[in-house]
Amino acid sequence: MIAAIIVVFIIGYLVIVFEHPLQLDKTVPALIMGALMWALAAIAFYSGNIDVINSHGHVFTTNGLTDLQAIESSHEGFSEVLLHHLGKTAEILIFLIGAMTIVELIDLHRGFEVLKDWVKTKNKKKLLWIVGILGFILSAIIDNLTATIVLVSLLRKLITDRNERIWYVSLIVIAANAGGAWSPIGDVTTTMLWIGKKVSAVGLIEYIILPSIACFVVPFLIGSMNKAFKGDIDTNLERDMQASKLLSSKTMLYLGLGMIIFVPVFKSITHLPPYLGMMLSLGVVWLVSEYIHPEEDFTAEIKHKYSPHKALSRIELSSILFFLGILMAVAAIETIVIGGVGALQNAAQHLEKTIPSQNVVIMLLGVGSAIIDNVPLVAAAMGMYTDPIDDPLWHFLAYAAGTGGSMLIIGSAAGVAAMGMERIDFIWYLKKITLLAAIGYLVGCAVFILMHAF
């Protein structure tokens, strides 16, 4: 039965990887895979064919048991294991729903239009660095996917020629992924590690920010020498800026970003899970949005245009369900006992025998994240290793999984968003950008390793 569970995982994983050729939303295989794996695990457990393990290392079994009370106790143990993993997954999902809603509220009030005030140049090279720095910083606050979408929308107003624009957009993907890697709220994978108590917010920033800066700066230095970034752009930005902002734009932007940044502070003060801080932040932003007036002639009839309920309707619920399916699927494998330990820990032991260097393993995981979604890779690694919080392993994993995806346009959520918005060709990105992203990734890896060598 263990083989059947693993086969379901492999098939589901392959369908997720090839979602574009199959033209099937990856949420579908993730949900089916997660549910089927737990169903097979339950059938096998209750029939005495497999054992399961909880987060404290306690093994539950029905194999060979004859005492009714002992069997019932094992059944309760299985239910507790399932509820434990559902609870850990729900923490991540609630956190993401809160963050997404705040971002959508900012967007409804056109708060991101304020960023255009910071773009005062028509020089192409200066513009590249301005949007790159914006992407690096913004992605650490509102996550790399949203930062990419915001900056691509900004570039569309600045650069009319698509052939010129896709160069900027592609490099923004690198900057956004690098920026998201050093923040606990900058990428889904760093959020998972933070909520899973593998890294602290301070530790993540302290040990990842320098490698992330290197990963961002080096490709931009090399890329800025390209002829695509020589000369000036022709734009009528001033008129567009005045027409697009609302009375509430600045207030909602600064309040929303401030409340998202407040979440790690809330956790540090209260030692409560991050999702509770995000619930508080969402409540505050929602409260202000109910009473703020975005327009001069604001009336009850047009209030629905800026309603939090509308923001909730714009959340990508399919992404939330994808995370639910994939995290529960990985949890099912983590729960199965092989060789006296969880299956993922067993895999880690074999991996360490094959490749003794953890740094090499993590670097390969980073490269793999350009091909395979980084969420299940990180989820699997969290189940494989038992190193303490803020161990260099977790920091390196956060960096590698967050930035490795930049090497392919389909390797990260930011890249996929840019690809969809600007119709960037996979081969074009492979020829023009992949080498730059790979150099940045490897330089960042080198910086990280050197930081821990002395």
Query: Crossing angle for the helix pair 124-142 and 249-270, nearest 10 degrees?
Result: 50
Phi/psi for 338 (5° steps) reads -130, 125
Enumerate the domain spans of the chain.
91-451
Which residue type, as a one-letter code, is found at position 193? Answer: L
CA angle 75–79–82, rounded 5-degree value: 140
Query: Crossing angle for the helix pair 249-270 and 274-291, nearest 10 degrees?
Result: 150
Residue entry with tokens 């263990």: 2
Per-residue confidence (pLDDT) for residue 145, from 0 to 100? 85
- Max mean pLDDT among 206-215, 230-239, 296-305 falls in 206-215
Per-residue confidence (pLDDT) for residue 417, from 0 to 100? 83
Dihedral of alpha carbons 215, 216, 218, 219, sign: positive
pLDDT digits (tens, 9 = 90+) for 150-194: 888 888 878 888 888 999 999 999 999 999 999 998 888 899 999
Question: Using CB atoms within 10 A of its CB, is residue 230 exposed (0-12), middle (13-18) or buried (19+)?
Answer: exposed
Task: Over range 105-123, report the average pLDDT.
Answer: 82
Among 9-13, 83-87, 112-116, 279-283, the range scoring the smallest mean pLDDT is: 112-116
